[in-house]
């Protein structure tokens, strides 16, 4: 598809392994601090609060947009209390929230993105805020050309403003942009607006709780095994 000029990537789950990264980080941190808690349950519960917290923001005017870091910070204290994790200071909760800034990439992410960058503009198109995505890129070595996020457009995916805004800000038509994601619903929203689509499975994203996105459920333009396979198919 020679008309494709830019690739937009979902990040959490598609580019980085958020679950294992956070569990490992928090378990080691808690051991150093002498804090006891079920960190696996905390991470899974925190991710469970992700979409509901953004749904609240979607109902508000653009002027009332709240970035993901702030939503995550609001979610973590009541969740910790519910799980019986006590003795945490405000600084501790800030540390846990910043854990989302330092997530490990999947094994193929950096090499695949580096290859794709030789031929296409590459950027995240994530619900993460700009500082989060920038810090993550520095930590994980993600070679983005720029960082686009929900914060830029003051709308969370799957709002149309995010996908169409990404094309507009690059001076491209929707058909010149391809959304790359491990989530069928993300691709469905992009495809409905005229973007090209590529599905890459990340079947261990949710660990034992994974119950969807094991395979492509739509008529996507590309279905690949990983980012290097996508690079192969796109001639990079």
Token code pair at residue 102: 């330092």
The predicted structure's pLDDT at residue 1: 52
List the chain domain ranges. 6-17+104-234, 18-101
SS3 of residue 77 by DSSP: helix
Q: What is the CATH number of domain 18-101?
A: 1.10.150.240
* DSSP letters for 110-148: HHHHHHHHTTSEEEEEESS-HHHHHHHHHHHT---SS-E
Buried b / exposed e over 103-136, threshold 16 CB at 10 Å, is bbbbebbbebbbbbbeebbbbbbbbbbbbbbbbb
- Distance between CA atoms of 50 and 39, rounded to whole angstroms? 17
- Distance between CA atoms of 216 and 97, rounded to whole angstroms? 32
Answer whether CATH 1.10.490.10 is correct for domain 6-17+104-234. no
pTM of the model: 0.95
Q: pLDDT of the chain along its 236 residues, tens only?
A: 559 999 999 999 999 999 999 999 999 999 999 999 999 999 999 988 888 888 888 888 888 999 999 999 999 999 999 999 999 999 999 999 999 999 999 999 999 999 999 999 999 999 999 999 999 999 999 999 999 999 999 999 999 999 999 999 999 999 999 999 999 999 999 999 999 999 999 999 999 989 998 999 999 999 999 999 999 999 99
- Distance between CA atoms of 47 and 72, rounded to whole angstroms? 9
């Amino acid at each position: 598809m020679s008309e494709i000029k830019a690739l937009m990537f979902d990040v959490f789950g598609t580019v980085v392994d958020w679950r294992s990264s956070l569990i490992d980080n928090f378990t080691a941190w808690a051991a150093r601090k002498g804090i006891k808690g079920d960190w696996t349950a905390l991470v899974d519960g925190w991710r469970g609060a992700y979409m509901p917290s953004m749904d609240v923001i979607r109902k508000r005017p653009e002027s009332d947009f709240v970035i993901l870091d702030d939503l995550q910070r609001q979610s973590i204290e009541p969740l910790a209390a519910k799980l019986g994790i006590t003795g945490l200071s405000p600084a501790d909760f800030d540390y846990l929230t910043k854990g989302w800034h330092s997530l490990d990439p999947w094994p193929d992410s950096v090499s695949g993105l580096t290859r794709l960058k030789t031929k296409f503009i590459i950027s995240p198109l994530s619900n993460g805020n700009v500082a989060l995505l920038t810090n993550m890129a520095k930590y994980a070595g993600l070679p983005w050309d720029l960082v686009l996020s929900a914060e830029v457009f003051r709308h969370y995916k799957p709002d149309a403003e995010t996908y169409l805004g990404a094309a507009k800000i690059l001076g491209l038509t929707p058909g010149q942009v391809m959304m790359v994601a491990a989530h069928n619903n993300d691709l469905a929203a992009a495809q409905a607006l005229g973007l090209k689509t590529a599905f890459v499975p990340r079947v261990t994203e949710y660990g034992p709780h994974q119950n969807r996105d094991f395979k492509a459920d739509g008529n996507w333009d590309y279905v690949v095994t990983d980012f290097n396979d996508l690079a192969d198919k796109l001639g990079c």
